[in-house]
Every structure is written in structure tokens, then in C-alpha cells.
Chain A
Amino acid sequence: MPRIIVCLKQAIDVSQLKADANGRLITAGVSRKISDFDKNALEEAVRLKEALDGEVVTVTASVEDAKTTIREALAMGGDKGYFINDEALQNSDTLAISFVLAEAIKKIGQFDLILCGEASIDGFSAQVGPRLAELLNIPVITYGRKICLEGSVLTVERILEDRYETVKASTPAIVTVTKEINEPRIPSLMAIMKASKKEIVTWRLTDLGVSPGKVGEAGSGIRILDVKAPKVERRRVLIEGETPNEIAEKLVKSLIQEGVVGR
């Protein structure tokens, strides 16, 4: 009966982002959602739970209200959600967030497996999983695309740049998962209704005994100076023609003129 913790980030829906007139990105008011790969992590946890008769809890740290997001995770099959919500989390980097999550996980208690996303869709730093492993002093397996849990033996297939690696570790352990590990389910109406009765435990930092110096700017190792939309400066020349051959001829001519094909 494994107990699985899923680190579930409430991320900015990056497809909704816009920049202001100066190219600065506007993040206020942009809709939030479960970070993409975390949905895969959750789905995998729920599948393991269904196969092995276990329990799945989620943990989320956020300055903003994340209850709707957590509720969605519970509809997908999570049993209970833990939500660390505190204004002091503002401007926390991965150093601070990992610390807070580790403290929350210690308070949640015994577990066999922690699943994280390969990276979060907004920050994409791929740090929180490995950092948690260090803080909790347990093994970590990154970029997992297949997980097998037998008793306390964990076997994971990793996907790297040029190879697949199958590795074994003993639990408790952390795995960060890739998008390909599964296809996350869409919860049924029934599941959504059931989820409204499941428990979301909300903690403030004082509940975890985390001092203000450990979070926010003071608890972070990096300082953001500027966030700007990248400039796109493309020529956008439309190659027109009556036939594919005519188009191809024009394109090839242009590329040769640019000096990028031929000599």
C-alpha cells in the first residue's frame, strides 16, 4: 500500500501571456493551471495507487489561491491535497520553494514515492525534484518515462539526450517524470463531484515552523532583474507562385542569394 506524494505546481498558463508596450511581460491576472508535467506525475501516481492499492496526496506551494487547481487534481484521483499558502512566498526561487516543500513533506509524514514533473511549464528550471532529494536525503531519478514499483524496489526508465537508462533505487525516492510517461485522464463528472468532498489542508509558513528568512528574497539565491518578451525580428517574406515548382525555384534562388546553400 504505497503512499505517493505528488508535487503539484500551480503554473501560469503560458499560452495566455502578453507583454506591455515596453515588452515587459504581464503575469498579473493571467489564468493558472496544473503545470503540464505535474499532470503526468499525478496520473502516474494515481495509476500506481490503483494497481497497488495505495494513497496519493498532492502538495502545492503558492502565493496565490490554488484551491481550484488542487481540486482538479483531486478529481483526477488524488486523495488529499496539501496547500502551503503564504504571502511571504512572494519572490521565492527554487532554493526557497524546495525548502518549504521539504518541510511540508516532513510534516505530511511517511511516504514511499515522491513524483514531480521533469520541469515546470513556467519556470522550467528542473530543480525542485533534485533539490528535494537532497533536502530529504533520498535518491532521485530524473527524466523518468516508465516507472515500476515492486515492494521497496523502484525501477525507472530514464530518457537522456542520446540514450535510455534503466535504473533501480530503493524507496523512499523521488522520480521526475516526462510528458510521455502517460496520457493524463480527464476526470468524469462523478469524479469531479466526489472531489468536492475530499480534504484540502491549508498551511501557513508558521504551521511548518518556517522562518521568514528562509523564503522570499531573503531565502532565495537568485534575484530577478527583468522579464521581457523576446524580440522576434523575422523578415516574413512570402514566397508565392502558381505551382509548387515555381515556389521551390524562388525559394532556392533566395537561399542561394543568402549564401547559405551551395558555396
Chain B
Amino acid sequence: MKEYVSVWVYSENNNLMLELISCGRSLSDTLKIELTAVLIGDEAEGKADKLVKYGADKVFMINHPTLKESPDEICLATLTDLIATHKPEILLIGSTKNGKELASRIAARLETGCIQDCSYLTINGEGQLITKRVVYSGNAVVTATFSRSPHIATVPLRTFEKLEPTERKGNIMKLEAKAVKPRLDVVSVSKMEVTDVKVEEARIVICGGRGIDSKEDFKPLKELAQILEGQVSNTRPLAEDRKWFSGWVGLSGKKIKPTVYIGCGISGMIQHVAGMRDSKIVVAINKDPEAAIFEFADYMVVGDLYEIVPAIVKELKKALD
């Protein structure tokens, strides 16, 4: 049986960090070992206590005001160095785009395996870390384990629920960032519209696809979202080819698991489904009765979204009055 010493978590995203702590907590409880959160960046001081309250036993706090959110060399070098010194067996990293790059590069430096976007992590009877993730564009789920240490896994937002904060005692240690020269020069940053950034957190998501002809035609969807206190989102072609919105739902976009997903004019290609298949209730509106999205729907509405969506808005207004 393998001997473990500690589980570490890191994410530059504050919410994701708390979710990783929750996941890491259950792994370290099973293994009866310590959970360490690594905090690198701006104002680390103010955040360390919180991480303990949410379940970390130890926090390595590295205050580094110049550190950008990007996984630059400083973050990479600092983490890699710490891991080489303290030898945690399990490292969980928040699966943002930068987080995935960071995880891959740490894994390369330490010559170990890395499993991205885990939807499930557990310790089996033999003390092995077992992971599950989606592959083949959503056509399969692969169960895998590690054969080298540290085991590096990335975990997307909303995969685990953060724990309730409690008054706990933890060990907060201040450390220095490693001084290395950055290789990339960030010239400019432009923020996207914030409305659809939070789609992962929405309880109800109204998603539009290419069945919608113009950006203006999104209005009924937005109205529906407003009544239901949800968010609108879209498929990748609308976001990237037509540039109507910044983010999208799917394999290469956001993974969402709202209570209700309503897909309007979406064909249900596997790459889109990969991002919404964990929704609790799926409603699909499509004029083509053969559309693949219906395979993944709880409620199937065959019809013209231009007629159906406004009618739903009307009915909801009536019902909720």
C-alpha cells in the first residue's frame, strides 16, 4: 500500500480554490493526511485565513504583487520548487485555461502524469487515486489512475461544492516567490462582457444556437432568462464565428450543470453536449424532430423557437404572477 504525506491544492480562481479544498479535504481525510493550499498572488495575506476556515490544514502563502493571473514563470517555478522540496503525492489544480497549462508544465518538469478536467476523484481500497474524465469529445468516460508521483489532476469549476466554513486552526506559512525572469510579456488585456462569464454559476441557463438568425433575436431568450433569474449563453459558432457573445457552453468552452438548461435552436452536437450533459433538467426546442439534442432532453419541444420562446415567456409571466 502506498504511503502518502499530503494533498495540495492550487488555483488562481478564488472560488475554484475553495472547491478544490473541498475535494482535497475528502481525499486527505480518507488517507488521513494533511491538506495544504498554496496561495500565490496579490493580497495573499487577506485570503489565507479563509482557506483554513474552508478546510485547509496548512496554507503556503506567497505574496507576490506583480504576479499576473497568467501562469507565468514565477508561479510555475515557485510551485515546482515547493513540490520538489515537500513532495506532496497529490496536487489538484483548478482547471482554468491557465491552470491547465500550469498543470501540464509542472508535470513535464517533474516527469509525471497529469489528468485534466477530472469530474470525479476518489481513493480506492488500495489507496490509489482514481479519476474519471470525459474523452473523445464527450463520447466516453475514462477511468484512470497514476503510476508516478506526484499525481497531478485538474478540476473544473462547479465539480465539487465548497464546504461550510467553520472556525478551525491551521498553519499559515509565509514564503517567498522564486525570482525568475518571465518569458512572456503581457502587452494588453481586454475584459469580456461580464454577463455570460458567470454562466457556470447560474441555476437556470437559456442557451441559444444557430437556429437564431440575428443577435437581436436573442431578446426573447434574454427575457426568459430574466423571468427565471437565469443566464443566457450560446453555442460555439455564435460566440466565435458570429462574435455575438464571448463565452460558450461545451467541450472547449464552459461546463455547466444548472438545475434547468433550455436549449433553443441547438442541434446537439456532441461537443456542445459535453458542456451541458450534467444539467439536472434539459429542455430542448428545435424545429427538426430528428435533432440530436432530443436524445439528451427531458422535455422535447418540436417547433419554431421564434414562436415557442415568446409563448413560454407569456405563460411564465401568467403563471408566476
Give chain A's interface residues, CB within 8 Å of chain B: 12, 14-15, 17, 19, 25, 93-95, 98, 118-119, 121-127, 129-131, 133-135, 139-143, 155, 160-169, 178-180, 217, 220-230, 232, 234-239, 243-245, 247-249, 251-256, 258, 260-262
Flag if B111 contacts A95 (CB, 8 Å). yes
Closest to A142 in B: B101
The residue on B at minimum CB distance from A217 is: B147
**Are A221's CB and B70's CB within 8 A?**
no
- Given A169-B183, A221-B107, A251-B315, 4 extra CB contacts under 8 A: A131-B105, A166-B188, A252-B316, A254-B299
Residues of A within 8 A of B319 (CB): 252-253, 256, 261-262
Which chain B positions have C-beta within 8 A of A131?
A: 104-105, 107-108
Check A161–B143 contact: CB distance below 8 A.
no
- For A17, the chain B residues whose CB sits under 8 A away are 136, 139-140
User: Chain B binding site: helix, strand, loop or mixed by DSSP?
Assistant: mixed
B140 touches A25 (CB 8 A): yes
Partner of A236, one of B185, B197, B297: B297
Judge whether A163 and B270 touch: CB under 8 Å. Answer: no
**CB pair A227 B140 closer than 8 Å:** yes
Give the contact stretch, choosing among B2-10, B42-50, B305-313. Answer: B305-313
Whether B260 and A234, one on each chain, are in contact in the complex, defined by CB atoms closer than 8 angstroms, is: no
Chain A nearest CB from B313 CB (Å) reads: 8
A186 to B115, CA, bound (A): 34
Q: Give the distance in Å from the alpha carbon of A221 to the alpha carbon of B137 in the complex.
A: 22
Residue interface mask B71-107, A partner, CB < 8 A = 1: 0000000000000000000000000111011011101
CB of B299 within 8 A of CB of A221, answer no
Contacts A168-B184, A220-B113, A261-B320 given; indicate if A239 touches B300 (C-beta within 8 A). Answer: yes
**A to B CB contacts below 8 Å, 7 in the list:** A17-B140, A124-B137, A142-B97, A245-B315, A248-B311, A251-B312, A261-B316
Does B251 belong to the interface (CB within 8 Å)?
Answer: yes
B160 touches A (CB below 8 Å): no
Stretch from B28-36, B167-175, B275-283 forming part of the interface with A? B275-283
Interchain CB contact (< 8 A) of A223 among B146, B191, B299, B302? B146
> Which residues of B are found within 8 Å of A223, using beta-carbon distances?
144-147
Asked if B187 and A221 sit within 8 Å, CB to CB, the answer is no
Are A162 and B140 within 8 A (Cβ)?
A: no
Min CB distance, B143 to chain A, in Å? 4
A102 nearest CB across to chain B (Å):
9
| Contact call B145/A222, Cβ cutoff below 8 A | yes
Q: Given A230-B134, A234-B296, A251-B312, A225–B145 Cβ distance below 8 Å?
A: yes
A221 to B319, CA, bound (A): 55
Contacts of B176 in A (CB 8 A): none
Q: Which residues does B use to contact A, with CB under 8 Å? A: 70, 96-98, 100-101, 103-105, 107-109, 111-117, 130, 134-148, 183-192, 194, 197, 204, 228, 236, 240-241, 246-247, 251-252, 254, 259-260, 270, 277, 280-283, 294-304, 307-308, 310-312, 314-316, 319-320
Select one of A94, A180, A225, A254 contacting B240, CB under 8 A: A180
Per the bound structure, the CA–CA distance linking A162 and B140 in Å amounts to 28
The interface residues of chain A lying within 8 Å CB-to-CB of B254 are 161
- Most interface-central of A118, A130, A224, A227 (chain B CB within 10 A): A130
When chains A and B are docked, how far (Å) is the Cα of A90 from the Cα of B213?
Answer: 46
Q: Note all chain B residues with C-beta closer than 8 A to A232.
A: 277, 295-296
Is B184's CB under 8 angstroms from A139's CB?
yes
Known: A17-B139, A163-B192. A130 touches B301 (CB 8 A): no
Inter-chain contact A221/B294, CB cutoff 8 Å: no
* Chain A hits for B105, CB < 8 A: 130-131, 133-134, 140
Contacting pair B282 A234 (CB below 8 A): yes
Interchain residue pairs A-B with the least CB separation, the first 9: A221-B113, A248-B311, A134-B108, A130-B104, A222-B113, A131-B108, A139-B183, A244-B307, A127-B104
Q: Are A167 and B185 in contact, with the CB atoms below 8 A?
A: yes
- Are A230 and B137 in contact, with the CB atoms below 8 A? no
One of B97, B307, B310 near A160 (C-beta < 8 A): B97
Is B98 a contact of A14 with CB atoms below 8 Å?
Answer: no
Bound-state Cα–Cα, A75 to B142, Å:
35
- Given contacts A236-B297, A260-B281, are A222 and B252 in contact (CB under 8 A)? no
B260 / chain A contacts, CB cutoff of 8 Å = 255, 260-261
Whether B141 pairs with A222 at a CB distance below 8 angstroms is no
Q: Are A224 and B108 in contact (CB under 8 A)?
A: no
